[in-house]
């Protein structure tokens, strides 16, 4: 179950607290501290496996932009997304 929590952390770029809440909804009690410690232990192996399965990015993609409001300021957010929908980079 812990390996699945670490996989969720890397696959969907969630925080340890988000993973803790997702598992709590399924009545699985795991502390975010446990997830954080196991990310350090199992993380490199799982992240490498995800990258290997994903394959190299293609030359096709798109650039999404949005304006957000933070403390009464409105910066633009750009993110590069490949043709599969994976986020490649984010710039504020």
Which tens digit of pLDDT belongs to each residue from 6-56? 888 877 878 888 888 988 888 988 888 888 888 888 888 887 887 788 777
At 6, list the tokens. 């670490």
| Cβ 19 vs Cβ 33: under 8 Å | no
User: What residue spans define the domains of the chain?
Assistant: 2-54, 61-91
| pTM score over 0.75 | no
Q: Which residues pair with 87 in a beta bridge?
A: 81
């Amino acid at each position: 179950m812990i390996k699945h929590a670490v996989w969720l952390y890397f696959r969907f770029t969630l925080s340890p607290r988000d993973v803790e809440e997702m598992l709590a909804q399924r009545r699985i009690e795991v502390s975010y501290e446990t997830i954080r410690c196991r990310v350090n232990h199992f993380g490199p192996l799982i992240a490498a496996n995800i990258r290997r399965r994903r394959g190299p990015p293609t030359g096709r993609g798109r650039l999404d932009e949005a304006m957000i409001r933070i403390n009464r300021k409105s910066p633009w957010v750009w993110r590069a997304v490949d043709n599969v929908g994976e986020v490649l980079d984010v710039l504020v």
